[in-house]
Amino acid sequence: MSLATKSIRKDFPILSREVRPGVPLVYLDSTATTQKPLAVIQAMDEFYRHNNANIHRGVHTLAEEATEMYEKARQRVAEFIHSSSAREIVFTRNATESINLVAYTWARAILKSGDIVILTEMEHHSNLVPWQQLAAERGVTLEFVPVTDEGLLDLDVYRSLLAHSPKLVAFSGMSNVLGTINPTQEMIRMAHEAGALALVDGAQSVPHLPVDVQTLDVDFLAFSAHKMLGPTGIGALYTKAKILEAMPPFLGGGDMIKSVHLRSFIPNEIPHKFEAGTPAIAEAVGFEAAVAYLSEVGMATVAAHEQEMVAYALERLEEIPGVKVLGPAAEKKGGVAAFTLEGVHPHDVAQILDTYGVAVRAGHHCAQPLHEKFGITATTRASFYIYSEKEEVDKLVAGIYQVKRIFN
């Protein structure tokens, strides 16, 4: 099904903005954060106007309404990724906190010196640094699946690493730089056959691809609302219930307890024992609205539109002399096109593009080791979502030609 992009764009107020007089916004930075539809903005506004109260503690009308809305959001998020129960969804601040929660609770309770954690060379810092900290603290060994020149994971090396009986495999469902869509289900199956649990960083895959945690049989899945039309400040961690029940709490305080005495406490039931203090209630309401919006569009439709966009973008970018795009062919990647322009620093590219209203990202995109792998310090990254149009790719390309003229 083709996406009615013209109609969808009307739902996003910011897309009608001019970044300066006569220069309309061309937003190609959705991998960093997506723009928000009116449905999300209005849902949060309505909550603050009519329902604002703390949750789980009060018996008055507002408290009960707020609690119901918060828990409805959890249920909607569970349904979106096809979890069997809302009890398996823990609200966090973002995917980064979700991964850290696993590292600080499950991993520190289970892993010991010499245990192996398998990662990949394409990981975001959020799925590297927590494990590096654990390795320094506990003597855990980190092994890495290499990335091929094409931008794919070397599954032969992955298979050989699994022969050493790792305890955990943690990898990105989709690279935020290369756009590579990893064979998630196959990698999880292989991890389980080796006796390891599997954590997927779904910060990019959940917003862009259909995800079914039961079909994948994934143990942990981390993702963020702001990368899927929702607000900043809230994300989610999916964990199989039997694993979540065995994990110790993450933070201590209010609401994560069943009872407290001066020298002891009894933790709350899942998922509440991992949500200490007042949570991001309005943000959860916005998250629910975002998931509802995406569900109406259909994630298969979202994925197909992005594939069409990135195929067109690669075709246009490759016509420009001096441009080199990282990552695999369009059919193996999501809506991400990170590139270098010979003789011009990515920050200069991005700054000049901004004068034409084209918003892209420049830098290492929190994936320094991956850039080191390819012998570069930074890239310029254009990324697409449901509101992106081919005409915007044309404006990107025209802007790059202007960059080339400026730098001769």
pLDDT in tens, 30-57: 999 999 999 999 999 999 999 999 999 8
Query: Cα separation of 151 and 154, whole Å?
Result: 9
Name the band, by pLDDT with cuts 50, 70 and 90, for residue 3.
Answer: confident
Pull the structure tokens for residue 397.
């390309």
403: pLDDT strictly greater than 50: yes
Check residue 142 and give its pLDDT: 98
Tell me the β-bridge partners of 197: 168
2: pLDDT strictly greater than 70: no
Angle between helices 184-193 and 155-162 (to 10 degrees): 20
Q: Which amino acid is at 220?
A: F
1: pLDDT strictly greater than 50: no
Whether 8 is catalytic is no
Q: How do 89-92 and 235-239 pair as beta strands?
A: antiparallel
Cα 337 to chain centroid distance, Å, stands at: 16
Name the band, by pLDDT with cuts 50, 70 and 90, for residue 354.
Answer: very high
Check residue 58 and give its pLDDT: 85
Query: Cα separation of 34 and 55, whole Å?
Result: 28
Count of CB atoms situated within 10 Å of the CB of 227: 25
| Residue environment code for 232-259, b if the CB has 16+ CB neighbours within 10 A, otherwise e | bbbbbbbbbeebbeebebbeeeebbbee
The owner of tokens 């083709």 is 2
Tell me the β-bridge partners of 69: none
61: pLDDT strictly greater than 80: yes
Q: Which amino acid is at 139?
A: G
The region, left, alpha or beta by phi > 0 then psi within -120 to 50, assigned to residue 190 is alpha
Check residue 157 and give its pLDDT: 98
pLDDT in tens, 164-203: 999 999 999 999 999 999 999 999 999 999 999 999 999 9
Q: What are phi and psi of 165, to 5 degrees?
A: 55, 60
Domain ranges of the chain: 5-30+299-406, 41-296
Percent helix, strand and coil across the chain, each to the nearest 5: 45, 20, 35
pLDDT in tens, 119-171: 999 999 999 999 999 999 999 999 999 999 999 999 999 999 999 999 999 99
**Average pLDDT of the chain?**
97
**CA dist list (Å): 49 to 12, 91, 243:** 21, 23, 39
The pLDDT of 300-317, averaged and rounded, is 97
pLDDT in tens, 277-290: 999 999 999 999 99
Q: Which CATH class is domain 41-296?
A: alpha beta
Check residue 57 and give its pLDDT: 81
Cα 29 to chain centroid distance, Å, stands at: 13
The owner of tokens 């310090």 is 377
Classify 217 as helix, strand or coil. Answer: coil
- Across the chain, which distance is largest between two alpha carbons, in Å? 72
Cβ atoms 177, 333 nearer than 8 A: no
**CA dist list (Å): 369 to 84, 230, 239, 388:** 36, 29, 28, 29
In this prediction the pTM is: 0.97
Query: Cα separation of 222 and 11, whole Å?
Result: 27
Task: Choose between 300 and 1: higher pLDDT.
Answer: 300
Instruction: Identify the active-site residue in 75, 366, 373, 402.
Output: 366
Cβ atoms 193, 169 nearer than 8 A: no
The region, left, alpha or beta by phi > 0 then psi within -120 to 50, assigned to residue 297 is alpha
Cβ atoms 136, 129 nearer than 8 A: no
The owner of tokens 């991400």 is 336
The fold of 5-30+299-406 is: Aspartate Aminotransferase, domain 1 (3.90.1150)
